[in-house]
Amino acid sequence: MAPTLRTPTERTCERCGREEVWDGDAGTWRLAETDGERAVGSPYCIHEWDINGSFVPFEDDHPATA
């Protein structure tokens, strides 16, 4: 099999539950729809995205030691 380009296509906010999907044509994230319902989440949330996929660029669970 050819190596797969691993591009995140979905992401979910860990804080408010907002879901977005990657629109490759538009080159932007847009709101996901599930069964006609849009998981908008909170407009006041500073979204913390949990991107579906196998790569994690960094983890911020660990306290940074400078």
Among 8, 9, 16, 21, which residue interacts with Zn ion (rule: CB under 5 A)? Answer: 16
Under the criterion CB under 5 A, does residue 21 sit at the interface with Zn ion? no
Phi, psi of 42 (to 5 degrees): -95, 130
Under the criterion CB under 5 A, does residue 45 sit at the interface with Zn ion? yes
Q: Shortest distance, CB of residue 22 to Zn ion, whole angstroms? A: 17
Under the criterion CB under 5 A, does residue 51 sit at the interface with Zn ion? no
> What's the rounded Cα separation, in Å, for the pair 8 and 45?
21
> What's the rounded Cα separation, in Å, for the pair 39 and 27?
20
Under the criterion CB under 5 A, does residue 47 sit at the interface with Zn ion? yes
Q: Which residue reads 């080159």 in tokens?
A: 27
